């Protein structure tokens, strides 16, 4: 009986473009920058060719992609599994909503203010649980949005259960789409630089992989975790503030569990340990979920099935699979 | 013996549940000395390391480093003061090149302070440090993935992580264990050079022969208690040590 096994080898172009010689040929430069360029081009062209309904889906998918990237950054590169992503969305949304309704600031100001101050606030709130790790941090962070909703509905602050309506909205559908797409792309670019090339990115990864060594390297782990949470929270708060001015309304639904769970699903489906995985996952899951809208809440079942399938049978996820096929080829060899 | 006192450990104790891991241990260390810590398995050597470097909080006693009471400091602050340590179990970033493993310690406030603002590119500094410790640049060892390194290099990498902080005292936790004779032989001159540079060393070891060649002073632990302290020849002739460590006829009895 002949035994065969599958062998994976790097493609020649991958090997060549690993070195400085990559810049010597157009083919190799294209190999390196091609996937990124393709992503940017697709995202920039999509708003122009989509029908109006799907344009709206695209903006929502963009928000979820931002949240997924923010979740993936914390989970994959800092080791903090934050199941309370809705907290960021809610805090950002309420800050911009309150600023807009009470002080009358335009969205152009409230969105950046809400992103920064909201991120500061969320970081301060999460500070006590930063020494926690793994499932303990996940559980505690999960409580935050739930507790905040209870506080708002019980005390009736900021419009209570009705929320605050009649806020300023973003000018038109083109601004809506391109603002979120450009922000998503900017965040992707910045985070990729951060985790792959910046020195502080290595510290973040060290916090995840080997916390003891980071402490022995005279680095304060909690301080670096706080910085990472701030970066992640700023993205989440931006998403919340953006949604507020997309709908002209802010309410308790910004703390909904969707905002915590879908980023997790997108990260699992899109592929862990990459920055791009969560983005791809979100841009797949949200449209699929939209097209299943006629099934109502059964969509949740669909999500769960997809997630379980990915966790059990396809742990590498879309992005890692694509990258492997892009960089390597497979063949059967006799043992 | 005129060098100034760098570390004072005063009556330190630590229990895990009902077990006294370290019981009332005291010793002093002068700058530039090499202190060897030996003892049978489970005698509290690693616990003593963890207590000194702040990775475990102690129950009682004081630890004075350069005149400062560091007893209650968190681990990173102790490292920041110049008391670095290696780990017995090495966990580098396996998917990163070796030199990138040294970027986090070089990113620390202490590394920036000791370089007086002239740190430059951290990757380049890391390669310089690695080369001093035997990662030959010409053989491209600093550029290899850390996960592919043999044990001897991993132990050196641990030491490099300490050196990147420009420490005054390094606590080495079993840095020779698991190495071949030739690997140890190449490490000994390195330790001697560190001593010449004025770095104080605490070395926890099972490799007694090599340790006694290096150490100015040896501390023997058994069941968490200090049973002897002195220079190598004294320790070799100490009855208690012979019984506890090198094996004697007497079986020992729990107090």
DSSP symbols for B50-108: HHHTTSS--SEEEEEETTEE-TT--HHHHHHHTEEE--SS----TTSBGGGGGHHHHHS
Q: Give the residue from chain A lying closest to B111, CA to CA.
A: A218
- Taking residues B191-219, report their average pLDDT: 85
- In which order are the strands placed within the sheet that holds B19-30? B19-30, B5-16, B60-65, B68-69
Which residues span the domain enclosing B101? Answer: 5-247
Cβ distance of A217 and B104 shorter than 8 Å? yes
Find the DSSP H helices in A50-172: 52-72, 85-98, 107-126, 134-155
Reported as a single tens digit per residue, the pLDDT across B132-163 is 887 777 777 788 888 888 888 888 888 888 88
- For chain A positions 136-155, those within 8 Å of chain B (CB to CB) are none
Q: Give the residue from chain B lying closest to A214, CA to CA.
A: B104
pLDDT of residue B139: 73
- DSSP state, residue A56: H
Contact, A250 vs A163, CB < 8 A?
yes
- Taking residues B93-97, report their average pLDDT: 80
- Pairwise pLDDT comparison (A136 vs B18), residue with the higher score: A136
Q: What whole-number distance in Å separates Cα of residue B207 and Cα of residue B190?
A: 16
Task: Quote the number of domains for chain B.
Answer: 1
pLDDT band at B254 (very low <50, low <70, confident <90, very high): very low
Q: Please report whether residue B177 resides in a domain.
A: yes
Tell me: pLDDT of B255 over 60: no
pLDDT of residue A234: 94
Cβ distance of B165 and A218 shorter than 8 Å? yes
Residue numbers in B near A202 (CB within 8 A): 93, 96, 100, 103-104, 107
Minimum distance, in Å, between the CA of residue A83 and any CA atom of chain B = 26
B130 interfaces chain A, CB cutoff of 8 Å: no
Tell me: pLDDT of B29 over 50: yes
pLDDT of residue A96: 92
Domain boundaries, given as residue ranges, for chain A: 35-256
Contact, A98 vs A251, CB < 8 A?
no
Q: Give the residue from chain B lying closest to A203, CA to CA.
A: B104
pLDDT of residue A161: 77
Tell me: pLDDT of B235 over 80: no
Cβ distance of A215 and B93 shorter than 8 Å? no
pLDDT of residue A232: 94
Tell me: pLDDT of B246 over 70: no
Q: Count residue pairs from A and B with Cβ separation < 8 A.
A: 76
Q: What whole-number distance in Å separates Cα of residue A218 and Cα of residue B74?
A: 10
User: CA separation (Å) from A246 to A97, A124, A241, A300, B46?
Assistant: 11, 27, 9, 25, 58
pLDDT of residue B118: 67
Cβ-based burial of B186 (10 A; exposed 0-12, middle 13-18, buried ≥19): middle
The tens-digit pLDDT sequence of chain A (335 residues) is 568 888 888 888 887 777 666 677 788 888 888 888 998 999 899 888 888 888 888 998 999 999 999 999 998 888 888 898 899 999 999 999 999 888 888 888 889 999 999 999 999 999 988 888 778 888 889 989 999 988 988 887 887 777 787 778 787 888 888 888 888 899 999 998 888 888 888 888 888 888 888 888 888 889 999 999 999 999 999 999 999 988 888 888 888 888 888 888 888 888 888 888 899 989 988 888 888 877 877 777 877 787 788 888 888 888 888 888 888 888 888 87
Option in B76, B93, B96 nearest A218 (CB)? B76
SS3 (DSSP) at B34: strand
Residues forming a β-bridge with B69: B64
Which CATH number is B94's domain given? 3.40.50.300
The neighbour count for residue A185, using CB atoms within 10 Å, is 18
Q: What whole-number distance in Å separates Cα of residue B228 and Cα of residue B207?
A: 18
Instruction: Tally helices (H) and strands (E) across chain B.
Output: 10, 10
User: CA separation (Å) from B240 to A285, B243, B247?
Assistant: 70, 5, 10
SS3 (DSSP) at B215: coil
């Amino acid at each position: 009986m002949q035994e065969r096994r599958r062998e994976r080898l790097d493609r020649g172009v991958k090997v060549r473009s690993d070195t400085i010689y990559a810049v010597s040929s157009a083919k190799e430069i294209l190999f390196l920058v091609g996937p990124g360029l393709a992503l940017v081009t697709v995202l920039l062209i999509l708003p122009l060719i989509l029908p109006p309904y799907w344009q709206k889906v695209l903006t929502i998918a963009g928000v979820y992609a931002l949240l997924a990237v923010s979740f993936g950054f914390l989970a994959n590169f800092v080791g903090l599994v934050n199941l309370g992503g809705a907290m960021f969305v809610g805090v950002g949304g309420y800050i911009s909503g309150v600023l807009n309704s009470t002080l009358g600031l335009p969205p152009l100001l409230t969105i950046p203010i809400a992103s920064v101050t909201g991120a500061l606030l969320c970081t301060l709130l999460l500070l006590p649980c930063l020494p926690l790790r793994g499932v303990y941090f996940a559980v505690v962070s999960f409580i935050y949005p739930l507790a905040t909703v209870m506080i708002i509905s019980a005390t009736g602050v900021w419009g209570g259960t009705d929320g605050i309506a009649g806020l300023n909205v973003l000018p038109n559908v083109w601004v809506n789409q391109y603002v979120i797409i450009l922000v998503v792309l900017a965040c992707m670019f910045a985070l990729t630089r951060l985790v792959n090339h910046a020195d502080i990115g290595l510290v973040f990864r060290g916090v995840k992989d080997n916390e003891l060594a980071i402490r022995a390297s005279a680095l304060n782990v909690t301080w670096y975790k706080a910085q990472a949470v701030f970066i992640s929270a700023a993205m989440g708060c931006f998403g919340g503030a953006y949604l507020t001015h997309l709908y002209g309304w802010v309410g308790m639904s910004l703390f909904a569990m969707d905002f915590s769970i879908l980023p997790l699903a997108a990260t699992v489906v899109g592929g862990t340990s990459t920055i791009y995985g969560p983005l791809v996952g979100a841009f797949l899951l949200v449209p699929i979920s939209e097209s299943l809208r006629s099934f109502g809440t059964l969509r949740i079942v669909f999500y769960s099935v997809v997630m379980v399938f990915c966790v059990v049978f396809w742990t590498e996820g879309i992005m890692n699979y694509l990258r492997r096929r892009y960089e390597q080829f497979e063949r059967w060899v006799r043992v | 013996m005129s060098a100034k006192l760098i570390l004072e450990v005063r009556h330190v104790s630590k229990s895990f549940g009902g077990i006294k891991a370290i019981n009332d241990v005291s010793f002093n260390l002068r700058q530039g000395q090499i202190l060897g810590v030996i003892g049978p398995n489970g005698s509290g050597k690693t616990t003593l390391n963890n207590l000194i470097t702040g990775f475990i909080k102690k129950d009682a006693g004081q630890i004075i480093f350069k005149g400062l009471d560091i007893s209650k400091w968190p681990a990173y602050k102790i490292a920041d003061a110049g008391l670095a340590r290696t780990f017995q179990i090495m966990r580098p970033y396996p998917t990163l090149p070796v030199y990138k493993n040294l970027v986090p310690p070089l990113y620390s406030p202490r590394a920036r302070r000791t370089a007086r603002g002239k740190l430059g590119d951290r990757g380049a500094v890391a390669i310089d440090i690695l080369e001093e410790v035997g990662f030959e640049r010409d053989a491209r060892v600093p550029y290899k993935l850390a996960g592919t390194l043999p044990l001897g290099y991993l132990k050196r990498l641990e030491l490099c992580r300490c050196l990147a902080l420009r420490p005054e005292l390094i606590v080495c936790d079993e840095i020779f264990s698991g190495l071949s004779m030739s690997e140890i032989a190449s490490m000994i001159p390195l330790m001697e050079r560190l001593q010449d540079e004025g770095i104080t060393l605490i070395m926890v070891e099972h490799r007694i022969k090599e340790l006694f060649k290096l150490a100015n002073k040896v501390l023997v632990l058994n069941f968490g208690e200090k049973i002897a302290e002195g220079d190598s020849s004294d320790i070799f002739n100490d009855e208690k040590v012979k019984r506890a460590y090198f094996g004697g006829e007497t079986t020992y009895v729990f107090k």
